[in-house]
Structure 1
Amino acid sequence: MEGKLYDAAVQGNKILLLDLLKEDALLLDRFITGRYPETPLHVASMLGHLEFVDEVLARKPELAKELDSHKSSPLHLASAKGYLQVAKSLLHVNPDMCLVCDIDGRNPLHIAAMKGHLGLLKELVHTRPWAARALMDHGETILHACLRCNQLEVLKLLVGRDSDPEFVNYKNQDGNTILHLAIAAKQTEAINFLISSTPIDVNCVNEDGYTALDLLSQNQRDATDKRIVDSLGRMGVTHARDNPLSNSQLKAMRTKILLSPWDQSNVISKPKKRKHGKRLIISNKNGDWLERKRNTLMLVASLLAAMAFQAGVNPPSGVWQDNGSSGFSSTESNGKNHTAGFSVLADNYPDVYTVFLISNTTSFLASLSIILLLISGLPLRRRFFIWVLMVIMWVAITAMVSAYLACIIALTPDQSNSSLISILVIATRIWVCLMLILLLGVGHTIRLIIRLVKCLHKLVVRLVKPKSPRPRV
């Protein structure tokens, strides 16, 4: 019966599958409880038989997480062949299979990227975006795999979705970034893309102490080397050492970088000590900066919103408990009558209450705006959007400080604690100045300004640079 089921999977024969299940209703269960090199779902996924796959998944969705003798799931095989609809069916049943690695330490996203299946890769990244951050064996990222397999379009897609400098500049076990790999392989288009459109560190050195420019020959270089050197020179790339590499050193270094890690293990007699876990995720090493910021902003915004709401419905000094004369001796009140439920502070200090109300409302609305943006599902995973949220948070905190100051001024008698109020005012001003320095002085704003200047510079250069005349036919 198992042999007939395998034949049905090879043919994609759904009718034969149903006939076999009528004869033996537990036929598919045996592939879950038994030991088989592969299941019929593996075969059908590898051959792209969508109807057969859907029928098997409808009856036994547990088969989607079964692994073959190479620890490959059906999603691995569908990703390798580029069957998008089959992959969608498998993802619908068990999307966490994006995180499962085969015997070579590759998950389905790695395989789809290495094969250049853009549409399938988009679906996988959309389903489990953090799977793209998983490391393969020997500490290489999915970006390293793209460079090794010369998949420039896939590289552009992945960097466009996640341009975190930590991700782009990640080093493998030899300390080589994707720029080292691109230059060692002389992939000119990839080099130009990396140095012009990504936050790649062009002067990063590997474990041997060589920058990307050191990998290029200084003597007898060909036209490709000259173009690469010119591109790197415009970006301010320098040598790691004063003396350039010799031709023999250059050849040995390029061979070392271009060899896959599995080939290196056969060539090198004494393997290096591994520095990375087999399935380490980058975000777990130094922490996902963006995710931490999102969680922190959500927590602080929720706290500020609760504080502002509580202060709004229960204003300082409370509310009048009955109707009658205020009995306040100040000339500002002029003996006005008060109404039960109205704010005491609004009657006694209308100007201060106005400042308090404006500041408290501003803090409340700013906090709600942060919460709404974070739970809206918008793609706020870029540093620019996080920077905008941090500015809004700064506004909310500053407004809350202003509301606090207004309350302290209104609740403290001037004749007894005027010096204390002056100290509070000075301390508050110093704190606001410190917030301005932090906001304008940290690297977020500086990097934003630098990027804007670079974009404007490139735009001006493109507009000013004369177009070369077209050759006549």
Structure 2
Amino acid sequence: MIIVRIIPPSPLVNLTKMEKLLYEASLEGNINILLMLLQEDPLILDRVTIDRHGDTPLHIASMLGHVDFVNEVITRKPHLAMERDSQKRVPLHIASAKGHVEIVKLLLSANPETCLARDRDGGNPVHLAAVKGHREVVKELVQAQPHAARAMVQQDTILHLCVKHNQPEVLKLLVETMDDHEFINTKDADGNTILHLAVADKQVQTINFLLLNTTIEVNVTNTNGETSMDILAQLHRDLFYQQIMQSLTRAGAVEANTRGSRRQVPRASRTNTGFDRILEYHTKPTSLIYLKEEQPEKEDWLNRKRSSLMVVASLIATMAFQAGTNPPSGVWQDDDSSHQAGFAIMAYKHVTLYHIFLVCNTVDFVSTFSIILLLISGLPFLKHKVFLWILMVIMWIATTSMSITYLVSILVTKPTPQSKTFKQVAGGIVLVWIGLMTLLVVGHTIRLIAVATRKFQNLVLPRKRTIISPVGNWA
């Protein structure tokens, strides 16, 4: 079977020799070749523009930052500044996105109206420069055409784009230049102001600027009836969360509920929702329903318990492995008629105690290793308290086995294990341990009985649960 690969033609295919030279000159920014071609054919720039629907030489030079080449073309053919490529972009779009300030000035001098030109996605050169963070370019464009900054892109203002793409310096420039209360508080398709978006993305610098230097409305709600404080309540609580909380509280921000009343602090942390750094982005926070009886600290408590169990289980498993490979009294170092090298000395000298040691140490190792495997498995049922309680019971068994292993090791290595003092100490330790284990078992048994009784009562006499703050779905 013969496979035929079709290679798409390059931009220079089907061009005349002079046109190819013109494109090469635009790639290199070679003015000498441009002047030579114009001398031979004064209409070559117009001819290439008419025959081609992709990038013109002016687009290419604007993208690559060839200032002198652009200046020469604009001086001779200023109308080429309005020519569009396949994406409906004029050369000013390209230069603005790339941040070439000098080329932007040249293109604006040829035709300031190009600042209002829209590409296929609806963006004008000011939008592209703002998204890319080119502050000086934005400054030049806004001075040339102030109305260009007020154009909307898919119901987003240029201020929304600055926040979504995390461009605080450009945002400051635009806010200070425009100084428009209504424009600053404009909402996007989901009813979010720029403060909503900045809080959701934890942009501390932007939030402080908006609260201290603008007339942003801190308690305005979006289409789901949420204020900026409601958005903050959905985020993970970290250092940024605390800083934003302090700033919003000082500014008088409050949280809104479904009845229209206000509460000063969020009741629970909610799922953090990030922002995609693309032009077509629309905010989609996760919808959650919070019940009055739920405690936000429950998940943190379970996580701490699981972490503690993992640490203790790892430590005990290490001790059990070490004791198993290197038992008390060591191993024989040579072969003899009564023993073999490498075998445990205790297995020959203290047969009964060695069996007890081996059983308890094995139980110890298997129990803790099972806990480690379960905790790292990520199984969903391990997030429930009842299974965490089962793991704690297994840990009790492991610690009890470890204690017996320790006692056997002391009996084997002590010169006079039958002494009265040793028996008293060992007996006291056993009594204390039995008492502690009894206390734990009784305490947890009473607790489980109480929980079971309460659940049975709720089942027989169910109580109506109150929904505090429903958050609607964001499509």
- Matched-pair contact (CA < 8 Å) for 2:185–2:216: yes
Does structure 1 residue 162 correspond to structure 2 residue 178? yes
Q: Is the 8 A contact 2:126 2:142 kept in 1?
A: yes
Give the superposition deviation at 1:31: 3.1
Q: CA deviation at 1:57?
A: 1.1
> Which one of the candidate residues 15, 20, 31 is aligned to 1:3?
20
Partner of residue 14 from structure 1, selected from 31, 41, 64: 31
Give the unaligned 5+ runs of structure 1: 269-473
* Closer, same or farther: CA 59–263 of 1 in aligned 2, 3 Å: same
Confirm whether residue 206 of structure 1 aligns to residue 217 of structure 2.
Answer: no
Q: Which residue of 2 aligns with 1:26?
A: 43
User: Which residue in 1 is equivalent to 2:96?
Assistant: 79
**Unaligned runs of at least 5 residues, structure 2:** 1-17, 287-475
How much has 1:62 moved relative to structure 2? Answer: 1.2
Amino acid at match of 2:163: L
Per-residue CA deviations over 1:264-304 (Å, capped at 9, x if unaligned) read 59999xxxxxxxxxxxxxxxxxxxxxxxxxxxxxxxxxxxx
Deviations 1:288-339 (A, max 9, x none): xxxxxxxxxxxxxxxxxxxxxxxxxxxxxxxxxxxxxxxxxxxxxxxxxxxx
1:54 matched to 2:71: yes
User: Who is 1:191 aligned against?
Assistant: 207
Which has the higher Rg, Structure 1 or Structure 2?
A: 2
**Deviation of residue 261 (structure 1)?**
6.3
Aligned residues of 2:31 and 2:68 also touching (Cα < 8 A)? yes
**1:66-465 to 2 correspondence within 5 Å?**
66-136=83-153, 138-217=154-233, 221-241=237-257, 244=266, 247=269, 250-251=271-272, 254-255=273-274, 260=278, 262=280
Q: Is the 8 A contact 1:5 1:20 kept in 2?
A: yes
Q: How much has 1:147 moved relative to structure 2?
A: 0.8
Q: Distance in 2 between matches of 1:259 and 1:22?
A: 47
For 2:123, the aligned partner's letter is R
Aligned match of 1:40:
57
Q: 1:20 to 1:260 in 2, by over 3 A?
A: closer
122 and 262 in structure 1: CA distance in 2 versus 1, 3 angstrom threshold: closer
1:22 Cα deviation from its structure 2 partner:
2.2
Kindly indicate whether the alpha-carbon contact (under 8 Å) linking 1:215 and 1:245 is maintained by their aligned counterparts in 2.
no
What TM-score do the two structures reach when normalised by structure 1?
A: 0.53
CA contact (8 A) 2:189 2:282 kept: no
Cα distance in 2, alignment partners of residues 38 and 231 from structure 1: 48
Q: Aligned pair in 2 of structure 1 residues 206, 258: CA closer, same or farther (>3 Å)?
A: farther
Cα distance between partner residues in 2 of 1:258 and 1:104: 17
Preserved contact between residue 176 and residue 205 of structure 1 (Cα < 8 Å): yes
Measured in 1, the distance between the counterparts of 2:277 and 2:210 equals 21
TM-score by length of structure 2 reads: 0.52
Q: Letter of the aligned partner of 2:68 in structure 1? A: E
Question: Which amino acid in the other structure matches residue 47 of structure 1?
Answer: L
Q: Give, in angstroms, the shift of residue 21 of structure 1.
A: 1.6
Shift of 1:177: 0.7
1:267–1:207 distance in 2 versus 1, CA, 3 Å: closer
Q: Which moved more, 1:209-218 or 1:39-48?
A: 209-218
In the alignment, the residues of structure 1 paired with residue 279 and residue 131 of structure 2 have an alpha-carbon distance, to the nearest angstrom, of: 15
CA distance in 1, matches of 2:256, 2:74: 56
The number of residues matched between the two structures is 263
Supply the distance in 1 between the matched residues of 2:285 and 2:231 (Cα, whole angstroms): 21
State the SS of the aligned residue for 1:139. coil
Aligned partners of 1:23, 1:266: CA distance in 2, in Å?
59
Amino acid paired to 2:128 = I
In structure 2, the residue corresponding to 1:28 is in which secondary structure? helix
SS at match of 2:89: coil
Distance (Å, rounded) in 2 between the aligned partners of 1:95 and 1:201: 34
Q: Given residue 112 of structure 1, which amino acid in structure 2 is its aligned partner?
A: A
Identity between Structure 1 and Structure 2 (%): 49
Instruction: Determine the C-alpha separation between the residues in 2 that align with 1:53 and 1:12.
Output: 8
Is the CA contact 1:185–1:258 (under 8 Å) kept in the aligned structure 2?
no
Q: Deviations over 1:204-238 (max 9, x none)?
A: 11111111000123796212111111110111111
**1:101 CA drift (Å):** 1.2
Mapped to 1, the partners of 2:235 and 2:95 lie a distance apart of: 47
Distance in 2 between residues matched to 1:205 and 1:11, nearest whole Å? 53
